[in-house]
Amino acid sequence: GDSVTQMEGPVTLSEEAFLTINCTYTATGYPSLFWYVQYPGEGLQLLLKATKADDKGSNKGFEATYRKETTSFHLEKGSVQVSDSAVYFCALRNAGNMLTFGGGTRLMVKP
């Protein structure tokens, strides 16, 4: 079956540092890939998505590129802020199937 693996946290960074959260997946066919963010006390919000190989999703300074050859969708941001502190979930969805989530990675950004 489909699965998503992401790095365990917490990831602790200083403000303005570069962020990478790794995500790899296993799936048949050509899934769509997503990153969700969950701020404290809230539900999950869609951060960005990519629907085919080599697509780059971007939003709020975050980027992720759909790499089919390495089955990866790593999340990056050039300069994190304290307000980016949250839990980040990588996910995939195959046609006819439900969203499959990774375990989540907590990011803590210190001033």
Partner 1 sequence: ETGVTQTPRHLVMGMTNKKSLKCEQHLGHNAMYWYKQSAKKPLELMFVYNFKEQTENNSVPSRFSPECPNSSHLFLHLHTLQPEDSALYLCASSQSQDKANYGYTFGSGTRLTVV
Asked if 91 touches partner 1 (CB under 8 A), the answer is yes
The yes or no reply on residue 45 touching partner 1 (CB under 8 A) is yes
Burial of residue 37 (CB within 10 Å: 0-12, 13-18, 19+) is: buried
The reply to whether 49 sits near partner 1 by the rule CB under 8 A is: yes
- DSSP-based three-state secondary structure for 93: strand
> CB of 38 within 8 A of CB of 45?
yes
Residue 25, interface with partner 1 (CB under 8 A)?
Answer: no
When asked if residue 24 is in the footprint of partner 1 (CB under 8 A), the reply is: no
Verify binding: residue 66, partner 1, rule CB under 8 A.
Answer: no
The alpha carbons of the chain give a radius of gyration, in whole angstroms, of: 13
* Closest distance of CB 105 from partner 1, Å: 12
Residues 6+ apart with CB under 8 A from 8: 103, 105
Q: Please give the residue ranges that form the binding site for partner 1 (CB under 8 A).
A: 31-32, 34, 36, 41-46, 49, 51, 89, 91, 93-99, 101-104
